[in-house]
Amino acid sequence: DKIFYDHVVQPVLREDNEIGVRSLSESEDKIKGSFSLMSLFDSITYNKGASITWMLSGFLTEKLFIRALTSYLKEFSFSNANQDDLWTHIQMVVDAQDEVQLPASVKQIMDSWTCQNGFPVLTLNLTTGTISQEQFLNKKNENSTDSYNNTWIIPISWMRNGSSQPLMWLDKSSKVFPEMQVSESEYDWILLNVNLSGYYRVNYDQLNLKRLGRLLENDPKVRSYFRFQLIDDVFALTQFGYVQIETALELTKYLAREDELFIWNVVLLNLVPENLESTLKNYEVYPLLKKYLLKRMLPIYHYYAGFIRQNIDALEDDYFAQVYLEKLFATACWLGLQDCLNLSSELYAKWMDNPENKIPYLIRRTVCCYGVAVGSDKEWNFAWEMYNHTNSTKEDKDTLLFAMSCAKESWLLYRYLQYGLSGSLFSSNYTSIIILYVVTKDIGHRIAWEFVTENW
């Protein structure tokens, strides 16, 4: 489930919040010609479709969902069907039992999700127990107006003080749930969208956020889903102008105890730019990020650094290490953590001593970059030699192309750019790639600009 949310639900939530993004289902008159038809085979169809199906399975229960799906597939195998046919079969299964009660027909519920673009954000007021919904749009964008009056029929899984509560439904723009009014106790809190089962974001009032933040700091047994959801939602709300960045940072104070890479990835995705070097140009932001993040990253960094030094193979079955360890490691080095720089230098030196001592694949790009960065022309020349090695794969070559742009000596970068212009050393296809890699580095921007103006 963590993998599904991390790789399917979260990415499409980030895409499905822009004005003009289409709905999941399009009417026939909107599909004109093969181009329009082919354009429907996108992440909205696959990822949003999967996310909403997951939500449907959640409020139906897996047992009823499988029963309805089996009935649907039996009737329409080897024939055509549309989404209403699926809703009909689900409705038949729902009508034949008493355990699951829905607030409206299956078609009404699901059409609110498939026939409208976007998705909702729920806002909870703990004092009154009121939940309201609106379409999640960028409030910082002047084109995001209040003219969107979409409402959804929303299943709300929730818990109070750690205890799961019966499923609730929000079928209008706003509704009072007396069960969600809390006491003055700081230990009385509410969490909506338990286990990330719904396709929506949640915005809590300051009272609940303060209590949830305190819970994260004081209770090490809070489930990883819980932590991921709070962090992911609050940063999305910050980005789109619903809450201030200070609110998001309050929820990250506990991070020194965070041991899940997929949660750290969300934090780094929101606090650290994709192009790490670009923030070095902002002399105000970088030192603040360094001070705030580095001390919180140390525990998880040292945990994985131990594996890297002693037994990297032990991480072979750790899926999130396979996917996200590089980002954590690159950020630690970028923030100037000396142990990270030393480890990169050690691994790179071992590779230079014996090319059979391969750098661990999980962190190869970062190690090569910082191995060159903290070294001299000797390390750069070795990268160049390995790039030209006949056994180097395409992926290896790209890693080394990137690594050679990490040099901290101006003359090495200028020589690299000259190599890129030489038709005998590189094909013309690589010239722009080399310039792009160099220009994104802190000292490379000026050098690349001068090189381009001199040669074009």
- The tens digit of pLDDT for each residue in 357-383 reads 999 999 999 999 999 999 999 999 999
Q: Which pLDDT score, from 0 to 100, does residue 422 have? A: 85
What are 334's two structure tokens?
């970028």
Q: Which pLDDT score, from 0 to 100, does residue 146 have? A: 53
Higher pLDDT, 394 or 29: 394
Domains by residue range for the chain, with CATH: 22-114 (1.10.390.10), 120-269 (2.60.40.1910), 273-455 (1.25.50.20)
Q: Does the structure show a pLDDT above 90 at 28?
A: no
Q: Work out the number of other CB atoms within 10 angstroms of the CB of residue 11.
A: 14
What are 23's two structure tokens?
């709905």
Q: For residue 80, give every residue at least 6 positions away whose Cβ sits within 8 Å of its Cβ, in sequence order, or none.
A: none
Per-residue pLDDT of 391-438, as tens digits, reads: 878 999 999 999 999 999 999 999 999 999 887 888 778 899 999 999
Per-residue pLDDT of 35-66, as tens digits, reads: 465 566 677 888 999 999 999 999 999 999 99
Handedness of CA 97, 102, 108, 113 (dihedral sign): negative
Q: What is the mean pLDDT of the chain?
A: 90
pTM of the predicted structure, to 2 decimals: 0.89
Q: Which pLDDT score, from 0 to 100, does residue 29 have? A: 56
pLDDT band for 100, please (50, 70, 90 cuts). very high
Residues above pLDDT 90, as percent of the chain:
70
Q: Which pLDDT score, from 0 to 100, does residue 34 have? A: 47
Q: Which pLDDT score, from 0 to 100, does residue 282 have? A: 62
pLDDT band for 287, please (50, 70, 90 cuts). confident
Per-residue pLDDT of 122-159, as tens digits, reads: 999 999 999 999 999 988 876 655 556 899 999 999 99
Q: Which pLDDT score, from 0 to 100, does residue 236 have? A: 94
Mean pLDDT of 2-7: 88
Q: Does the structure show a pLDDT above 70 at 114?
A: yes
